[in-house]
């Protein structure tokens, strides 16, 4: 299959992709793997697509698969609205529409020669997963690779197969925690941001990629700053309502920025203060 390396697909027209597999991640989250009917389009870790379900509508969804293999594209989706519920009940072979990739990716190159610290809360592991896969594929370019994962409960953990593989891999230092445990859970309990003070990495020479609920990202940034990490090496990815993906619908504004155009990945100094204003 041809892979086209293009700038972001600046179009409002969707392109047909065929559902290959639907993998249940948790009781309300699936990962949908899709293949393009025509050529595949290269993407960078942290970018998102607008995914269309025939006759139902469209949703903005981060790409959760390996950027080295854009011919098999994955999106990891929690059922919360019309479109995401429909996506949770897709059958293999169904055609869905995709436009993208959109948005500013994670600045992975900035982490080269440094420690890479990835912090994910809940389904927030999905948008950072492509960055982790890309980093592990060129492991020698980074010093430590650290992953902190939190979820509400063990049953809310996504990508458990990956977590098992990575836990056994000396190339990556994985720490998993849950807010509240259940019988049989022998891992750590507590919010993910509590892990930050004790995990080994060099805060003065590290880059952090953070994705999760906004309150979790605020605490994560505070924890990283408290350890001495320069604020401009902390990166978060934000979520707002999105309708166009190309900077013209106005929905994804956060004060002076448009997430689809200027984000969704931001350095902390760009959005930290904005994120502390309620209902902005």
Residues that bind other proteins (CB under 8 A): 8, 10-16, 18, 52, 54-58, 78, 80-81, 91, 93-95, 97, 213, 239-241, 243-244, 246-251, 253, 255-258, 261, 277-280
Which is nearer to other proteins, 88 or 144 (by Cβ)? 88
Which is nearer to other proteins, 102 or 142 (by Cβ)? 102
**CB 68 within 8 Å of CB 45:** no
Which is nearer to other proteins, 81 or 228 (by Cβ)? 81
Cα angle value 1/35/88 (rounded, 5°)? 170
| Nearest Cα to Cα of residue 126 among 207, 44, 62 | 62
Closest approach, Cβ 170 to other proteins, in A, equals 36
Residue 194 token pair: 């509590």
Closest approach, Cβ 131 to other proteins, in A, equals 22
Which is nearer to other proteins, 101 or 203 (by Cβ)? 101
Q: Cα 254 vs. chain centroid, distance in angstroms?
A: 19
CA–CA distance from 254 to each of 16, 246, 251, 275 (Å)?
31, 15, 9, 8
Closest approach, Cβ 204 to other proteins, in A, equals 31
Which is nearer to other proteins, 143 or 243 (by Cβ)? 243
CA distance 200 to 184: 27
In sequence order, the β-bridge partners of residue 150 are: 121, 177
Closest approach, Cβ 247 to other proteins, in A, equals 5
Which is nearer to other proteins, 97 or 107 (by Cβ)? 97
Closest approach, Cβ 198 to other proteins, in A, equals 30
Alpha-helical regions (H) of the chain: 82-87, 125-137, 160-167, 214-226, 259-262, 268-275
| Helices 214-226 & 268-275 angle (0-180, nearest 10) | 120
Which H helix or E strand runs over 145? strand 145-151
Which is nearer to other proteins, 14 or 65 (by Cβ)? 14
CA–CA distance from 112 to each of 60, 68, 150, 206 (Å)?
29, 18, 25, 9
CA distance 277 to 272: 9
Closest approach, Cβ 235 to other proteins, in A, equals 20
Closest approach, Cβ 249 to other proteins, in A, equals 5
């Amino acid at each position: 299959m041809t892979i086209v390396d293009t700038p972001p697909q600046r179009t409002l027209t969707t392109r047909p992709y065929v559902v290959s597999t639907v993998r249940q991640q948790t009781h309300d989250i699936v990962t949908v793997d899709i293949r393009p009917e025509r050529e595949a389009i290269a993407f960078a870790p942290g970018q998102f697509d607008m995914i269309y379900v025939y006759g139902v509508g469209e949703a903005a969804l981060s790409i959760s698969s390996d950027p080295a293999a854009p011919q098999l594209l994955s999106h990891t989706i929690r059922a919360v609205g019309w479109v995401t519920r429909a996506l949770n009940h897709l059958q293999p072979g169904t055609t869905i529409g995709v436009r993208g990739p959109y948005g500013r990716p994670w600045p992975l190159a900035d982490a080269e020669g440094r420690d890479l610290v990835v912090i994910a809360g809940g389904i927030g592991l999905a948008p950072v997963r492509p960055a982790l896969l890309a980093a592990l594929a060129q492991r020698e370019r980074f010093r430590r690779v650290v992953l902190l994962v939190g979820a509400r409960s063990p049953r809310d953990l996504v990508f458990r197969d990956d977590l098992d593989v990575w836990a056994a891999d000396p190339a990556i230092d994985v720490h998993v925690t849950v807010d509240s445990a259940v019988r049989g859970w022998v891992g750590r309990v507590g919010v993910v941001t509590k892990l930050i003070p004790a995990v080994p990495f060099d805060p003065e020479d590290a880059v952090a990629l953070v994705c999760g609920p906004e309150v979790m990202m605020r605490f994560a940034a505070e924890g990283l700053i408290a350890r001495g990490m320069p604020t401009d090496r902390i990166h978060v990815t934000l979520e707002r309502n999105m309708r166009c993906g190309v900077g013209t619908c106005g929905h994804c504004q956060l004060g002076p920025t448009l997430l689809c155009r200027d984000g969704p990945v931001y350095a902390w100094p760009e959005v930290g203060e904005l994120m502390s204003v309620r209902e902005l």
